[in-house]
Amino acid sequence: MKREMICIGCPLGCQLCAKLTETGEFVSVSGNTCKRGAEYARTECTDPRRTLTTTLRCADGGVVAVKTEQPIPKDRLLEAMKQLNQMIVPLPVSIGDVLALDVFGSRIVACQNRQKG
Ligand code: SF4
């Protein structure tokens, strides 16, 4: 069987076509211009992951922009959001600060500076 997808590895957005066995195992890919596209197709067919970007509540009632340091399993994104919605971040926060150590295998890092008040 075949599965078509657009590579998100760069702005070119190559149209990929992955070939899978009847049981869904990855066999090959075509349409990629570089190795990153081949790796994206393999991962998307076997263990799809996404970088989660969101905001966390801060102690002053505002929010701070954050993201997962590594892509996490796509089917865990909602669960990760539920976990993160429970957090209240003490201020100040600087870009790159680690705000959680393990959310489905990734640290959560701040994407902006936030001062007290
Ligand atoms: S296959 Fe390579 S060139 Fe094409 S979109 Fe993906 S990363 Fe970009």
Minimum-distance ligand 1 atom for the alpha carbon of 16: 1
pLDDT at residue 116 greater than cutoff 90: no
Distances (CA, A) of 16 to 9, 39, 44, 51: 12, 11, 11, 21
pLDDT digits (tens, 9 = 90+) for 46-94: 999 999 999 999 999 999 999 999 999 999 999 999 999 999 999 999 9
pLDDT at site 62: 95
Residues within 6 Å of ligand 1 by CB: 7, 9-10, 12-14, 32-34, 36-37
Distances (CA, A) of 24 to 1, 3, 9, 74: 8, 10, 23, 17
Residues 6+ apart with CB under 8 A from 106: 68, 69, 70, 71, 72
Mutate to test the pocket of ligand 1, among 34, 35, 43, 44 (most ligand atoms within 8 A of CB): 34
Q: How far is the CA of 97 from the centre of ligand 1 (A)?
A: 31
